[in-house]
Structure 1
């Protein structure tokens, strides 16, 4: 059988890259290869339509094995990860009951969000009652001002339980720059605070107490290279300043945890996590961290390669979640979870699909847990380490993304991440990226299914939206902000405002006046229905009319607010003026398409045209204003 397979492959002649290009060029029939097939990413580099083995020659990313420096292929030799679920602690007893319940349902990591006034030794003991400290990763988030006290309480609690601390994993989410990024407020004492927390947590060697919350950047609209570049700059700022403060480089590096978001660009996100581990390893080793133990992973001159291992938690995006057609959020979070798990993260949170509009319930939390369990138990993603290794495409993405992120890291680090935050340059750059994504969504260059494309016309959502409030840590509000904060919005927000306004007002009627060429009128009526459906308008479609007069009469009988003429470009020269004259301003008249006769039609008083180049959001806002919808 082996010989047969060998003969099978040798019978096929090899095809050179030049031959592939010649064939592609011929098939393009004169069209420009770069414009047609080369993708210019938001990350600033180009992606070719195909890659071959020669494109990976000499790459550092292909030389190492899983668990080997520089950790492109993972910081561990397996691909198991912690399945995490977060709990907002409102009632200590109820939170304890919940954690004991979910630990029997597949969860192996728990995140607690605790109000600052609830941080006491008694509450922590009650919260963790019955939890096996060596069997579950425990993560804690509270107000920065209470993080040191919380850390000390946890150290005392673990010591009192007489457990093997080398088997106890967890974190305290002390983020030195959270107050600037979220509220625009400075914390000029962060170095001293971070140093104290690191010292306090030294007795829990597997606890990470310094957080780089890069998911905040992702959830504000940052592109992948920005999230990665700024995360590296943030981590390096913490590492550098604490070493300058007299702390050991190895100790500090092992206390830093990276919390990344996961975007919807499937392969790019796989590349992001691979590049992140690689670049962070290079940064840490530049500080020459010494290894105090007899460890097979240290270098010949005694440097600690273990300190260079990036510990990554990933959580699915809130930025691309939607209120309308919310079950599509499950599709988004599932592909995001696949990216992170294939890339080899240490722990993963899949957010419930109802996250954008209310506090999650038992059903949505169960679905979110099971999304990860399916990847493990059904798809066996945890059985194969770095399956993307060797993929010509992903290896090139990893290298290209690493180059762009490294450029951003160097530019930011030259000034210092903290200084860049105070100057607002990081926040401004992410605001610009978010604005660009909003524009792309408005013109459908970026698609959110159910929001700006293929909406559920009849869905209503106002009744299901429940304000869930803050995270519950007790950090207060952003009044009196001194610096620029990150933008706080989701990609779908502006479209959702349109639909909610329509619900409140009552949906206007959009009548499809279909006539003439069968293929074109059907295509344009479908396009127009999707277009106006994005604002929640009621669409009245038709099979076609013999005359324009009959179509206009039917529209008036239906009491249409908007009449959309759907036909072919050639026929518009005749049909459009006739229909516009019959409508006589009794309804808003729209032509579906961009015919060559558009200027002539505009000269005759026809104002509205919709086509693939239209700004969907601005056009719908215009019609809302004309119809008195606020």
Structure 2
């Protein structure tokens, strides 16, 4: 390209832009009119320039994104376990239609009573990653090893801390950490089988903002590191088995920056552990949010899921689960149409939008780089506060985590009640649907899954 192509255009400084904006505002207050106060507590300006990159560690932020090994991502579908034969048929059908990996949610099913041979018939785990969501992790692994004599791909996706945060239990048992240690040792020879999931879903779905989600998720990860190293495992053993699972909300640019900030902060934590694996192991699985979904106008959920999925891929996810638009309906039955649309969102972004061709596509954006650093800085401060309290388990026991998230939830709710528009929830909703309004009562002593639209339904 001819480097002289744009010489005829003058360089515009930020001061010049500001002067023009003030002129166009004709006396209106700049901050009140154009500066956005985010729910995370910092100002977001309408215009960023190259000079805004001078005061942030841009090189360190971008270097952290390079630990993503591929420009693409895994299209990972979540299905609910029914029976061995029925679930096996579903898996094979979806694998033929563009799905790369499957999460099987066993719910409360007792793994010891399930026929895993029938469930995985004609599915070779060395080629197809299968992820198992179950509380019976050791039992599942023992049964798998009876008939799988190769290196499987996939992993276990139950976060034991999330279970604790979402239950009335007053303590997390030491046997939980012993069990986790045993699983890591048993899968030592399975390098592509992840056994520790650190998920942000419990924080996100309780109402946490992006800063809280980052800080508490990282604090959970550090808790795993500390507990397991105390049991004799090395940092490298733990890191090689760890994967983050992150909810992606509707705030498009903030969510892109959130994932980039997570990689940056994880590399920062790695410095204190003196492990080179932190730099190359930050596996991030993303799942579109149910927190913002509507039951009054469920088709709007499709649009939200699409922008959320785009945020995930632009932010550099390693795998993506797009939830069907009708997964929050009271019938509990996801339609074939909803499943197909959810599956195709990821395929469209690869095959037609070509978003899988560039690593860290947001790099260099003055706005997103600044947003990444703002999120990272605020999240780091909150993370350190949690650590000074004794870690996330102690902070949760003291009620700090629940209280902070409740403040964030109420702030989000207040903004909707005061006029912020959420399509299909508080405006532009289907008015001819008869719904019986019910009072929503939340248990604020634990982290409950909830949807912000429930208040308006």
1:261 is matched with: 247
- Indicate if the aligned counterparts of 1:155 and 1:201 stay in contact, CA closer than 8 A: no
* 1:75-94 paired onto structure 2 within 5 Å: 75-76=68-69, 78-94=70-86
Structure 2: any 5+ residue segments left out of the alignment? 437-441
Choose which of 412, 423, 445 in structure 2 pairs with 1:449.
423
Task: Tell me the SS of whatever aligns to 2:115.
Answer: helix
Choose which of 148, 153, 156 in structure 2 pairs with 1:169.
153
* 1:117 positional shift: 4.9
- Indicate if the aligned counterparts of 2:297 and 2:424 stay in contact, CA closer than 8 A: yes
Choose which of 374, 393, 398 in structure 2 pairs with 1:400.
374
1:126 is matched with: 118
Choose which of 252, 263, 273 in structure 2 pairs with 1:287.
273
Task: Tell me the SS of whatever aligns to 2:96.
Answer: coil
- Indicate if the aligned counterparts of 2:287 and 2:321 stay in contact, CA closer than 8 A: yes
Choose which of 148, 152, 156 in structure 2 pairs with 1:158.
148
CA distance in 1: counterparts of 2:412 and 2:65, whole angstroms: 29
Task: Tell me the SS of whatever aligns to 1:139.
Answer: strand
CA distance in 2: counterparts of 1:121 and 1:257, whole angstroms: 28
1:11 is matched with: 8
1:37 is matched with: 34
CA distance in 1: counterparts of 2:222 and 2:142, whole angstroms: 25
* 1:132 positional shift: 2.5
* 1:120 positional shift: 3.5
Choose which of 225, 229, 246 in structure 1 pairs with 2:211.
225
1:183 is matched with: 167
Task: Tell me the SS of whatever aligns to 2:166.
Answer: helix
Alignment partner of 1:490 is 2:451: yes
- Indicate if the aligned counterparts of 1:62 and 1:389 stay in contact, CA closer than 8 A: no
* 1:449–1:26 CA distance, 2 compared to 1 (3 A): same
CA distance in 2: counterparts of 1:441 and 1:305, whole angstroms: 39
* 1:351 positional shift: 0.5
* 1:74 positional shift: 4.9
- Indicate if the aligned counterparts of 2:181 and 2:228 stay in contact, CA closer than 8 A: yes
Task: Tell me the SS of whatever aligns to 1:488.
Answer: coil
1:344 is matched with: 316
1:198 is matched with: 184
- Indicate if the aligned counterparts of 1:221 and 1:434 stay in contact, CA closer than 8 A: yes
* 1:44 positional shift: 1.6
- Indicate if the aligned counterparts of 1:316 and 1:350 stay in contact, CA closer than 8 A: yes
Task: Tell me the SS of whatever aligns to 1:140.
Answer: strand
2:439 is matched with: none
* 1:81-480 paired onto structure 2 within 5 Å: 81-115=73-107, 117-120=109-112, 123-143=115-135, 146-159=136-149, 163=150, 165=151, 168-185=152-169, 186-189=171-174, 190-289=176-275, 303-305=276-278, 309-357=281-329, 358-415=332-389, 416-445=391-420, 447-460=421-434
Task: Tell me the SS of whatever aligns to 2:195.
Answer: strand
TM-score by length of 2: 0.92
Task: Tell me the SS of whatever aligns to 2:356.
Answer: helix
Task: Tell me the SS of whatever aligns to 2:155.
Answer: strand
Task: Tell me the SS of whatever aligns to 1:177.
Answer: helix
CA distance in 1: counterparts of 2:121 and 2:213, whole angstroms: 37
More RCO (CA 8 Å, sep 6+): 2
Task: Tell me the SS of whatever aligns to 1:183.
Answer: coil
CA distance in 1: counterparts of 2:109 and 2:255, whole angstroms: 38
Structure 1: any 5+ residue segments left out of the alignment? 290-302, 463-477, 497-630
1:467 is matched with: none
**More deviation, 340-349/184-193:** 184-193
* 1:259–1:304 CA distance, 2 compared to 1 (3 A): closer
- Indicate if the aligned counterparts of 1:195 and 1:242 stay in contact, CA closer than 8 A: yes
CA distance in 2: counterparts of 1:140 and 1:105, whole angstroms: 21
CA distance in 2: counterparts of 1:458 and 1:62, whole angstroms: 54
CA distance in 2: counterparts of 1:98 and 1:222, whole angstroms: 34
CA distance in 2: counterparts of 1:402 and 1:63, whole angstroms: 12
* 1:439 positional shift: 1.7
* 1:460 positional shift: 4.1
State which structure, 1 or 2, has the greater radius of gyration over its C-alpha atoms.
1
* 1:376 positional shift: 0.9
Task: Tell me the SS of whatever aligns to 2:97.
Answer: coil
Alignment partner of 1:57 is 2:61: no
TM-score by length of 1: 0.68
Task: Tell me the SS of whatever aligns to 1:54.
Answer: helix
